[in-house]
A and B are shown apart, each in its own frame.
Chain A
Amino acid sequence: MVSPILVLAESSGGKVLALSLEALAMGRKAARESGTSLAVLVCGKGVLTAANELLCYGADKVLAVDNDLLADLHPDLLCAAVSQACDIIKPGALFMAETLAALDLAPRLAARLKTGCASDCVDVSFSRDTGGFIFTKPVYSGNVMAQFALAGEPVVATFRARAAEAPEPGAMSGRVENLDVSLVPSLARYEVVEKVSIDATGGPRLESADKIVSGGRGMGGPEGFAVLAELAKALGGAVGASRPPCDLGWISPVHQVGITGAIVAPSLYIATGISGSTQHVAGMAGARVIVAINNNQDANIFKIADFGIVGDWEKIVPALTRAAAEIAG
């Protein structure tokens, strides 16, 4: 029998991240295809609520490492904890969602275990020929899809948001198994001095917003984003951005949509002053309805939009805000 698949789930405020549930769906698929079992692991301090929630998703095992030293999820300690958990569970593959934490953990762990790692995957399938998994991920700015076979056990893979649909919770079954790992503070090779939280500029969070109004370099400056925020407000949506406005400091990077920002799939996405680069489009192509506003009629963004308005946003956006307010009011 093939070694089990282990999904590492992350939680925030006692709730399992939706992205982790998507990774769990990938784990389920891989387990089904390869005829192996599926285990889910949560690590942290006070993660039992999240672990219990995971009992509803049909994994064969739900495991928890609950340790005071993981309170801050220091990357060195987290890596040690997951690596020890792998020693106990002996999984063939470790899956996680491509989150900021996974961006650190996946390569760190693979380097430590000397196994293969594929980040930002969009699919996994089992190959009967080789008896191993094949991971698919975008390379060259998303212009090419590459398939990789990974060496060693466990192989480590992270999955891009929206690559799989999060499963619906079912009835709770089984109970959470606690894993004992031994951690000591000295495993942390650097010290965390201070944590600073940055408030996103109000409104709903990008990932969960049903409507998103995004601006690009064409907005010309922070003032443009103030105008966009009014449209977002009238629509009850969130503000997004392409990368240049974030790099130029017009808006906080938490608003970035694209392969190095958030991957979103709202019911409505309005792209304003955005040219439609593959790196941006990969982050929003899953939206149900896409509207593009651009003063260049040949902009690529129109190729992937459902509705397009050719014109200057300075004129179009305020008019849209008024029209949206009429509909809402």
Chain B
Amino acid sequence: MHIVVCMKQVPDPESPPESFAIDQETLRVEPRGIPPVMSLFDENALEAALKMKDADKDGTRITVLSAGKRVPDAVMLKSLAAGADALAKIEGPDLDHMALNARGTAHVLARAIEKIGDADLILAGRQAADSNAGQVGAEIAAALDFPLITMARKITPDSGSILVERVLADGYEVVKAPLPCVVVVSNEVGELRYPAMKERREAKKKPVSSTGPGDVGAERIPEAGAGLKGLEYPAARERRCEMIPGDDPARAAKTLMKKLKESGLF
């Protein structure tokens, strides 16, 4: 089985709030002093692929696919070290990952997947850590006319098809889908495994390709469904915190309960 994992690079979402600076002139967020990383849910998608590979080492191949103005190998190396077999990058000036719309991204990725040709399973993360949009998986499925399964917490191959556990509000459901199909993965799959030093070294020898959108037949990028009109900082949310000394726990607990009572809580 050939699994293609779509991977976006994002400014590290765990960075402190002041790292996300708004440039009103260009209407963009300029990350300040923070490195790009792989988007968290896309890492979960890769982990889902690696778990399938664990179960069938020889029969499973994983290609990580990423589109961007520039996709630094340094960011993506982690995916190869964790166990992906190849990295395919689509790079070009029109593919600014900070500005690209979901439909445009999906169009480029879908054309690249067609070009790859033998992909059985396409995985994407549930939403990107920067745009938080959650649309690329659905758009790829629509562009390729493949079945779409979302909110996956487990994927298992099942002779020519796959079984997917989908997260529901009160549990999960198991669905069976034909291949090829697109599966959108949620964090319940588990964190991406941590590669050892040796795997990191070996990752540098794995095949990395870079092509332009034109090479995969995506020279015209479709109009965005969503046009950015404004960016602003959220209203400050600070409260004035009354600190209660914690060195005497019993006393701290009593004091807190008294204060909560005064706030009308009981």
Contacts and interface: CB of A to CB of B under 8 A. Distances in A.
Interface residues of A, number: 92
Nearest to B136: A107
Interface string B163-178: 1100111111111111
A18 interface: no
A193 B229 contact: no
B79 interface: no
B246 A309 contact: yes
Nearest to A249: B190
A102 B264 CA distance: 37
B38 interface: no
Given A100-B151, A118-B226, A268-B265, A139 B131 contact: yes
A193 B253 contact: no
Contacts of B175: 190-193
Interface residues of B, number: 86
A186 to B, nearest CB: 12
B241 A194 contact: no
Given A193-B163, A320-B253, A267 B265 contact: yes
B29 interface: yes
Contacts of B37: none
Given A119-B135, A140-B13, A143-B20, A319 B252 contact: yes
Contacts of B151: 100, 103-104
A56 interface: no
Contacts of B135: 107, 110-111, 117, 119
A57 to B, nearest CB: 22
Contact of B231 (A145, A155, A322): A145
A81 B94 CA distance: 36
Contacts of B138: 104, 107-108, 110-111
B150 interface: yes
Nearest to A134: B229
A305 B241 contact: yes
Interface in A270-312: 277-279, 281, 285, 288-293, 297, 302-312
24 contacts: A111-B135, A111-B141, A114-B225, A117-B102, A117-B226, A139-B29, A141-B13, A141-B14, A144-B233, A145-B232, A150-B227, A189-B147, A189-B148, A195-B171, A196-B171, A197-B171, A243-B187, A260-B126, A267-B265, A289-B260, A289-B263, A308-B241, A311-B249, A320-B256
Interface of B: 11, 13-14, 17, 19-20, 22, 29, 102-103, 106, 126-127, 129-135, 137-139, 141-143, 147-151, 163-164, 167-178, 181, 187-188, 190-191, 223-234, 237-247, 249-250, 252-254, 256-257, 259-261, 263, 265-266
Interface of A: 12, 75-76, 99-101, 103-104, 107-108, 110-112, 114-120, 134, 137-152, 155, 189-198, 211, 243, 246-247, 253-254, 259-260, 267-268, 277-279, 281, 285, 288-293, 297, 302-312, 315-316, 318-320, 322-324, 326-328
